[in-house]
Structure 1
Amino acid sequence: MYQRRLKQLADQYVLSEQHHEQELKQKTLELQIAELKIKQHEEKMTQEQSQMKMYAEQVSQLLATEKNLRLQLTADGEKFQQFQDALVKSNEVFETFKQEIEKMAKSIKDLKKENMFLKSKCEKSDFTLIELVEERERTKKQMEKLKNQKEKLESLCRTLQAERRQNSSVSNSSDSLQS
């Protein structure tokens, strides 16, 4: 009985040993699997850290690009504002120029009217001057004619006066002779 019991205990011990060995092998396999998983996780973590570093560099580059783009946007905004200001000034100058052109057009229109009036007046003056010159010539000719007539009449008057004096002296002498 002791032997059997001892044998039973030995068999139980062997079974227990085999069971422990299998558990140990299983635990060893689980440990290896866990180590492999840890190694995979470490590799994955290394890759992720490398990727994170790359992403950090990309983010840094993107931030630098964003900063440059913001600066460029600010500069472009200032240029656009300058362009807007120049456009407003240009519009003001154009409007002033347009008003000046309208004033000049009105002034030209008024000057054309005045020019037409003065041409008309000048033509009338020329016509009147020509008439006056012709009238003067006619008057001159008439005065010359009248002067000639006056001289002839004066000459005739003198002749008549001389004849009358002669007649008078002849008549006075004949009167004195008759008396």
Structure 2
Amino acid sequence: MQWWLKARRVNTTLLTSYAVFVALVLLLQDVVADLPSFLTGGDNPVVAILMAPVPLYAALMMSLESRLPAAEDTGTRPVRLMDAGLVLTVIAAAALAGTVIGLSFASSSALAVGRNTAFLVGLTLCTRPLIGSPAVMTPVAWLLAVMLFGFDHGHPYFWSVLPRANDDPIALMAAAVSLALGLVGQMTLRPRAIS
């Protein structure tokens, strides 16, 4: 287990990115940026905290990509199961940080950061078997699409997921489905090899 933690860079990369994530949630919790909308011609009030999960999920993907294929494919340890546990632990830690900060500062946007992290990690894991390590850019493309096309006169569309209210059932279902499909892909499919 200790060698797996070192191989996945949990003590260095993931803990550092988690500290950056918590700092971003603290700093950006209710900061709103008015971005242009390509659909309505007006402004989109985008909460800046939507970008907070980026360093965390990027570090998680870097950890998952730091595998040793020969040793892991021939070994007897359940490495894929341990990787799935790492994914769930990171998402639980993000949800915990968002909940503590959201309740402490009465910030509804901070409360949704765990759901948003689960959605973005699930999205990345869904595309990872198809495109390999460049899948880390999939959530960035989603974030840009949401920021530029995801609002109708200041109200988020149902598909946008991230800016929706913390208790929105559509967003919760999308995050759960995205994460479940991503974990199934993580457990059953091999990531595309770098060529």
Bigger relative contact order (CA 8 A; separation at least 6): 2
Higher strand share: 2
TM value normalised by structure 2: 0.17
